[in-house]
Amino acid sequence: MLLIASGCDTHVRNLGSGFKLVRDQRPASSASAPTHHLYYDAKDLGSVGQCFISPSGCHALYEQKGELMLFHSCSESLKSVSELNGAVPKQITWSEARNEARVAYSGGKSITVVPLSACACRIESRPLARNK
């Protein structure tokens, strides 16, 4: 019975690596769209529009109140990267090996290159040591 009561919450979308997107369950006015909050573990990163999680799970780039925000999960630091001026991020090309992400926008705004922090939490690919 407990399993049924704690079933899947349709208001929560697990994005992996500790990130989740939670739809605000408060009734919204008919003119406004439902809001979503991005969480890293239990930390609420605020109301978001588009959001993108890096393949390693170390970084999140997201739209918040007209700004492009960057969150680094290892240090739990958050910073504003760029003013969006009405543009909407539509695609992120992650290059964590070069410590950068390229953001493409709808509406023809030029691409933004976002420097990423070196990530101590990323697991490096290393060959296994041979047994002697």
Q: 47 Cβ partners below 8 Å, 6+ apart?
A: 24, 35, 36, 37, 64, 65
Quote the CA–CA distance of 66 and 75 in Å, as a whole number. 24
**Cβ atoms of 47 and 54 closer than 8 Å:** no
pLDDT single digits (tens) 2-36: 334 444 667 899 999 999 999 886 655 555 666 89
Q: Is residue 117 part of a domain?
A: no
Q: Is residue 76 part of a domain?
A: yes
Quote the CA–CA distance of 118 and 112 in Å, as a whole number. 19
Q: Is residue 67 part of a domain?
A: yes
Q: Is residue 34 part of a domain?
A: yes
Neighbours of 40 (CB within 10 A): 20
Q: In what order do the strands lie in the sheet with 112-115?
A: 88-95, 100-106, 112-115
**Cβ atoms of 32 and 24 closer than 8 Å:** no
Q: Is residue 18 part of a domain?
A: yes
Check residue 128 and give its pLDDT. Answer: 45
Q: Is residue 1 part of a domain?
A: no
Q: Based on the structure, what is the number of domains in the chain?
A: 1
Q: Could you tell me the CA-to-CA distances from 65 to 27, 30, 46 in Å, in that order? A: 20, 20, 10
Q: Is residue 126 part of a domain?
A: no
Quote the CA–CA distance of 19 and 33 in Å, as a whole number. 22
pLDDT single digits (tens) 105-126: 987 778 999 999 887 654 444 3
What are 45's two structure tokens? 């990163």
Which structural domain, as residue segments, surrounds residue 38?
Answer: 6-86
Check residue 106 and give its pLDDT. Answer: 86
pLDDT single digits (tens) 57-68: 999 999 999 999
